[in-house]
Amino acid sequence: MLDNDIALHLLGRHPTIVDESAYLLSAVLLPMVNKGGRDYVLFEVRSKDLNRQPGEICFPGGKVENGERPDPLVTAIRETSEELGITYKEIEVLGPLDIMVTPLGAMVYPYVGRIDISHIQPNPKEVESVFLAPIDFFLETPPYVTNVEVATRYDRDFPLEKVPSTYKAGWQVRTAYPMYFYEYEEHFIWGLTCRIMQNFLRICWPGHPIFKEPMKKWK
């Protein structure tokens, strides 16, 4: 193939994510609520009857369906409406946060919005309860932090003898990434939900003194 032919394929091309279809794509909404002139974030406690992550704390959201892939915001709004029992008109989208890609094969599109909870009716099949946490709490309280190690293992049919000896059979730790968590009242907020919360704070309150404080280690 001539260079001119190659250039034709590349000219004006917008990069995509390699093997994007292999990732579990989801979208969530970080819902803000104003109550008595004070801003809060609404969290869900997932139903204990769910197969995946029962009882965990999360933001409303879910899997991006095939027809929603061009615009994951559609997913975030739909799931918020379905899970909290509010109408689309009661959701005001403020904007996107950064896309989260996890070492476990998930890609999450987070958005921030304001919601009206005057007529909220959480879906009991998905949501056990909801609670509000003031944004002030997160701007006054550094999170706890620890590390999560990620290991890989090659299938038996991989020809290890063809690659450098540093690649070995069995599990090998490849990397580690920070895991943040908060204790708020009786609630334990952690994992991807906490990472999204941290991203939200750093985008919307850049330079805040809380980011200069050391993160805490567990007791």
Q: 10-residue block means of pLDDT along the chain (219 residues)?
A: 78 85 92 96 93 91 85 95 96 96 90 96 95 97 92 91 87 88 96 96 94 83
Q: Would 87 be classed as within a structural domain?
A: yes
Q: Would 15 be classed as within a structural domain?
A: no
Instruction: Measure the CA–CA gap between 160 and 167, rounded to whole angstroms.
Output: 7
Q: Would 156 be classed as within a structural domain?
A: no
Q: Would 35 be classed as within a structural domain?
A: yes
Give the chain's domain count.
Answer: 1
pTM reported for the whole predicted model = 0.89
At residue 7, the pLDDT reads: 87
At residue 5, the pLDDT reads: 82
Which amino acid appears at position 159 of this protein?
Answer: P
Q: What is the CATH number of the domain that holds 120?
A: 3.90.79.10
At residue 3, the pLDDT reads: 65
Range 185-209 burial, b when 16+ CB lie within 10 A, else e: eeeebbbbbbbbbbbbbeeeeeeee
Q: Under a CB-based contact definition with an 8 Å cutoff, are residues 41 and 135 in contact?
A: yes
At residue 1, the pLDDT reads: 56
- Among the listed residues 127, 130, 112, 124, the one whose alpha carbon sits nearest the alpha carbon of residue 43: 130
Inter-residue long-range contacts of 207-212, CB under 8 Å, 24+ positions, other chains counted:
208/139, 210/138, 210/139, 210/140, 210/141, 210/142
Instruction: Measure the CA–CA gap between 216 and 202, rounded to whole angstroms.
Output: 17
Instruction: Measure the CA–CA gap between 112 and 59, rounded to whole angstroms.
Output: 10
Q: Would 12 be classed as within a structural domain?
A: no
At residue 34, the pLDDT reads: 96
- Tokens read off for 196: 């999204």
Q: Under a CB-based contact definition with an 8 Å cutoff, are residues 127 and 83 in contact?
A: yes
Q: Under a CB-based contact definition with an 8 Å cutoff, are residues 29 and 94 in contact?
A: no
Let me know the angle formed at the C-alpha of 70 by 67 and 76, rounded to the nearest 5 degrees.
80
Q: Would 31 be classed as within a structural domain?
A: yes
Instruction: Measure the CA–CA gap between 43 and 67, rounded to whole angstroms.
Output: 27
Q: What is the DSSP string of 134-191?
A: EHHHHHHSPPEEEEEEEEE---TTS-GGGS-TTS-SS-EEEEEEEEEEEEETTEEEEH
Q: Would 168 be classed as within a structural domain?
A: no
Domain range holding 33? 23-149+174-212
Radius of gyration over every alpha carbon of the chain, rounded to an integer in angstroms: 21
Q: Would 166 be classed as within a structural domain?
A: no
At residue 112, the pLDDT reads: 98
